[in-house]
């Protein structure tokens, strides 16, 4: 399997470039019998575009989803599903200037060395954030499968440019408010501060980063494939495959290094005849397996590398020092667009692991294995 595919049972292969003809995805291994149409995918893809124009890049792609295969009479057939969007709003001239002067912080320099200049550099080519459109399209299908199993995946911005969410939000608030906010933060007061921070950076020709948190609820204990395909490792790999992600932590994460065992361990209790942990410092994963507690993972997103502020770089043709003001249409903060991408990425990994464990049947409507069977049969 090449490096453009991920998953063992729910195999996702993404294709396309930022300024090529299209960006798309082929999903092999999606169970047959799932009701699916363009709208199911479109509504997830639309989450990548906060309505407030000042917050995101000025590139305005219509991104109308087309399903090319794998669906018959409104249901998945079990055959590979190919979904794509066409690139229409392409302005490549802005990138001529940077062909030989790599943008600091972007993939231009290592990509040119690796591919000897054969790579499509326009708009960052394969290294563009636009590639994550494919992640969201595959994630939309994964989320529909998770819904059948009663699993919900919700991501939201908890920090942007140093402005942090100050209180924990209920799942209900996160569900209702995240996508109503231009920065994808469910706390409206904090969202306003975050927005101001982004606009301030933009005005100065600069950019800011932030943190996206993701919660997957209702995942049964015991999901994961140790040793090398353990749940946290698979999630971390997928999340690090999102451009601009520089850190991944579960539960208390790096803070665990500063706690005593007695503080960090999540004690068990019996509640209404069920085993539960009192705290969730582990973030829902123990020994590479889901613990039955919500899976809580956070990703650190770096500030957008393409900034109009002057930076030092090199002219690779003349082997001379020079400076660069990056032109083109760029996000002053990647976080708002990254929120649905994180959600989709977590959903894809969970579906792959549930299929591997036999917890989602290969043909829906046929009796499933395990506790998810009741839920699946009803649908």
Ligand X SMILES: Cc1cc2nc3c(=O)[nH]c(=O)nc-3n(C[C@H](O)[C@H](O)[C@H](O)COP(=O)(O)O)c2cc1C
Residues of the shown chain interacting with ligand X in the complex, contacts defined by CB under 6 A: 57, 106-107, 124, 127-129, 132, 242-244, 302, 304-306, 330-331, 334, 337-338, 341
Q: Judged by CB, which is closer to ligand X: 206, or 266?
A: 206
Q: Which is nearer to ligand X, 161 or 243 (CB)?
A: 243
Inter-axis angle of helices 335-356 and 132-148, nearest 10: 50
Question: Side-chain half-sphere of 115: how many Cα atoms within 13 Å?
Answer: 13
Shortest approach of ligand X to residue 3 CB, angstroms? 14
Q: Cβ closer to ligand X: 341 or 347?
A: 341
The least distance separating ligand X from the CB of residue 109, rounded to whole angstroms, comes to: 10
Q: Calculate ∠ Cα 43-240-158, nearest 5°.
A: 60
Q: Which residues contact 117 (CB under 8 A, 6 or more apart)?
A: none
Nearer CB in complex with ligand X: 81/344: 344
Q: How far is the CB of 240 from ligand X (least distance, A)?
A: 8
Which residue, 247 or 287, has its beta carbon nearer to ligand X?
247
- How far from chain centre, in Å, is Cα 318? 39
The upper half-sphere exposure of residue 271, i.e. CA atoms within 13 Å in the direction of its Cβ, equals 6
**Of 245 and 293, which CB lies nearer to ligand X in the complex structure?**
245
- Least distance from ligand X to the Cβ atom of residue 209, Å: 10
Least distance between ligand X and beta carbon 204 (Å): 16
- Give residue 187's Cα distance to chain centre: 21
Shortest Å distance, C-beta 128 to ligand X: 5
User: Which residue, judged by CB position, is nearest to ligand X in the bound state?
Assistant: 129
Instruction: Measure the CA–CA gap between 25 and 345, rounded to whole angstroms.
Output: 13
Q: How far is the CB of 139 from ligand X (least distance, A)?
A: 13
Q: How far is the CB of 117 from ligand X (least distance, A)?
A: 17
Nearer to ligand X, 174 or 333 (CB): 333
CB 187 → ligand X: shortest distance, Å?
22
Q: Which is nearer to ligand X, 182 or 304 (CB)?
A: 304
95, with CB counted inside 10 A (0-12, 13-18, 19+), is buried
Dihedral angle, C-alpha 334, 337, 340, 343, nearest 10 °: 0
Q: Minimum distance from CB of 106 to ligand X (Å)?
A: 5
- Which of residues 247 and 288 has its CB atom nearest to ligand X in the complex? 247
Which C-beta is closer to ligand X: that of 11 or that of 49?
Answer: 49
Is residue 288 within 8 A of residue 304, CB to CB? The reply is no
Least Cα distance to 283 among 341, 217, 237, 349 occurs for 217
How many whole angstroms separate alpha carbon 149 and alpha carbon 152? Answer: 9
């Amino acid at each position: 399997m090449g490096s453009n595919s991920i998953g063992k049972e729910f195999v996702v292969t993404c294709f396309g470039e930022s300024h090529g003809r299209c960006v798309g995805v082929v999903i092999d291994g999606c169970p047959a019998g799932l009701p699916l149409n363009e709208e199911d995918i479109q509504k997830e893809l639309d989450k990548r575009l906060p309505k407030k124009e000042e917050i995101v890049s000025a590139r305005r792609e219509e991104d109308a989803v087309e399903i090319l295969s794998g669906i018959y009479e409104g249901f998945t057939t079990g055959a590979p599903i190919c979904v794509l969007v066409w690139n229409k709003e392409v302005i490549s001239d802005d990138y001529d200037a940077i062909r030989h002067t790599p943008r600091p912080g972007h993939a231009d320099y290592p990509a040119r060395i690796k591919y000897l200049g054969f790579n499509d550099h326009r708009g960052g080519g394969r290294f563009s954030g636009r590639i994550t459109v494919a992640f969201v399209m595959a994630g939309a299908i994964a989320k529909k499968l998770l819904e059948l199993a009663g699993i919900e995946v919700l991501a939201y911005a908890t920090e942007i440019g140093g402005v942090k969410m100050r209180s924990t939000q209920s799942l209900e608030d996160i569900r209702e408010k995240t996508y109503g906010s231009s920065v994808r933060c469910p706390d409206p007061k904090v969202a306003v501060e975050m927005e101001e921070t982004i606009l301030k950076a933009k005005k100065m020709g600069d950019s800011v980063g932030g943190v996206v948190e993701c919660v997957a609820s209702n995942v049964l204990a015991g999901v994961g494939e140790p040793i090398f395909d353990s749940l946290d490792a698979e999630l971390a790999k997928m999340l690090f495959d999102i451009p601009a992600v520089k850190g991944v932590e579960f539960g208390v994460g790096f803070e665990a290094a500063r706690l005593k065992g007695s503080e960090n361990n999540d004690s068990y209790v019996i509640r209404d005849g069920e085993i539960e942990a009192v705290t969730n410092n582990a973030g829902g994963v123990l020994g590479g397996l889901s613990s039955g507690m919500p899976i809580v993972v956070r990703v650190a997103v770096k500030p957008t590398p393409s900034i109009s502020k002057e930076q030092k770089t090199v002219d690779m043709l003349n082997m001379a020092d020079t400076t660069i003001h990056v032109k083109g249409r760029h996000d002053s903060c990647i976080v708002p667009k990254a929120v649905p991408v994180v959600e989709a990425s977590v959903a894809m990994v969970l579906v792959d692991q549930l299929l591997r464990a036999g917890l989602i049947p290969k043909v829906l409507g046929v009796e499933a294995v395990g506790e998810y069977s009741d839920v699946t049969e009803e649908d």
